[in-house]
Amino acid sequence: TAKQRGKASFVRYVDGMGEPVLAHMQLGAELRRAVDEGELRVVYQPIHRLDDNRVIGVEALVRWQHPERGVVSPAEFIPAAERTGLIVPLGRFVLRETCRQAAAWLAEFGPDALQEAGLNVSARQLHDPDFVADVTAALAESGLPCERLVLEVTESAVLRGQQVSRTLSELDRMGIRLALDDFGTGESSLSLLRAFPAAIVKLDKSFVDGIEVDDGRPAAADARQAVARAVIQLARALGLDTVAEGVESAEQAAVLRELGYTLGQGYHLAEPMTAGEVSRVLARQQAMATLER
Ligand code: C2E
Ligand code: MG
Ligand code: MG
Ligand code: MG
């Protein structure tokens, strides 16, 4: 049963019921409760400069604090949230919370501490006719300047047609920066870059995994380096910023730096953390900067 196989995973729990449809309905119902009763939390993963390790931004990542199951990861409920449409209120919560928090950090630590706060937006949200209004309202309520907000979208979400393109162009015109998330994993990464008003490209973790390996069989590492190099050259040519995702070791960070990446995100640099923990990091950074002056 699900219980025997462990409590941590929602998917396993759901599988254990042997009733996918019923299970999906139940997950949907529980998700609705999560949204309504405030069981969702936002954690933030710092984005670091690779030369001096300074934190220059964060990515907001949603967590579900489930009353029985503990913390449930987004991989386990975002697909269901998209299927049921609950991603719209869920996404609105993450948007408002992130803008509010980023504005608070801006007020507390000044304009040079955190340049940007990013959050993930799914295809379903981009199809929502109210999405641009939601973003406008979140910025207005929080007082966060639009150029400090990054919206991360995946290639597959962008490829969903006219309505989505219009929405993305409008957000771009508002001065919000758009990031192509998990870049390189989609079907048409290159042609997409031409059509899509991206400001940032996030090199997918799969190209960072093993990028440093030198075990006498360098072919795999070479292939990843080739992709990572191609992506940064392309980004430079198009005037886009880059962030390398899933940096798990100092060796990987070094290779990425050599290839020309200036920004990275990953467990080696910092894991996702609470807003309070980010504040402590920023306070420490500020204290260090004062000492150096
Ligand atoms: P993503 O946007 O690509 O976010 C990066 C994911 O990689 C996060 O997982 C992060 O915790 C994880 N990660 C960061 N550094 C490392 C590393 O060094 N090693 C490994 N193995 N993993 C690392 P998380 O938080 O579980 O989120 C998974 C995905 O769920 C996200 O991928 C994003 O697509 C989606 N997601 C998360 N929050 C939201 C949200 O608020 N809205 C939407 N629509 N999707 C979200
Ligand atoms: Mg992301
Ligand atoms: Mg990503
Ligand atoms: Mg990813």
pTM: 0.92
Ligand number nearest CA of 78 is 1
What is the sign of the dihedral through the CA atoms of 161, 123, 149 and 170? Answer: positive
Nearest CA to ligand 1 atom 19: 246
| Residue 16 scores a pLDDT above 50 | no
Residue 123's alpha-carbon distances to 5, 30, 37, 113, 131, in angstroms, are: 33, 22, 25, 31, 11
Cα–Cα dist 41/61, whole Å? 8
Dihedral angle of Cα 283, 105, 60, 84, to the nearest 10 degrees: 150
Are 116 and 149 in contact by the 8 Å Cβ rule? The answer is yes
118 lines ligand 1 (CB under 6 A): no
Residue nearest to atom 27 of ligand 1 (CA): 74
ipTM: 0.98
The reply to whether ligand 1 has any atom less than 6 angstroms from the CB of 267 is yes
Alpha-carbon distance of 139 to 98, in angstroms, equals: 10
Binding site membership of 266 for ligand 1 (Cβ less than 6 Å): yes
Whether ligand 1 lies within 6 angstroms of the CB of 181 is answered as: yes
**Rounded to 5°, angle at Cα 113 from 107 and 118:** 85
CA distances from 88 to 51, 95, 287 (A): 38, 10, 39
| Tally: H helices and E strands in the chain | 13, 9
Report the range of poorest mean pLDDT among 6-20, 60-74, 116-130, 227-241.
6-20
> Is 21's pLDDT higher than 80?
no
DSSP type of residue 273: B
Q: Read off the pLDDT of residues 84-136 as tens digits, 9 standing for 90 and up.
A: 999 999 999 999 999 999 999 999 999 999 999 999 999 999 999 999 999 99
CA of 287 to the centre of ligand 3 (A): 30
In this predicted structure, what is the pLDDT of residue 284? 97
pLDDT, position 12: 44
Q: How far is the CA of 34 from the centre of ligand 1 (A)?
A: 19
Does the pLDDT at position 152 exceed 50?
yes
In this predicted structure, the answer to whether residue 7 has a pLDDT above a threshold of 50 is no
At residue 188, the pLDDT reads 66
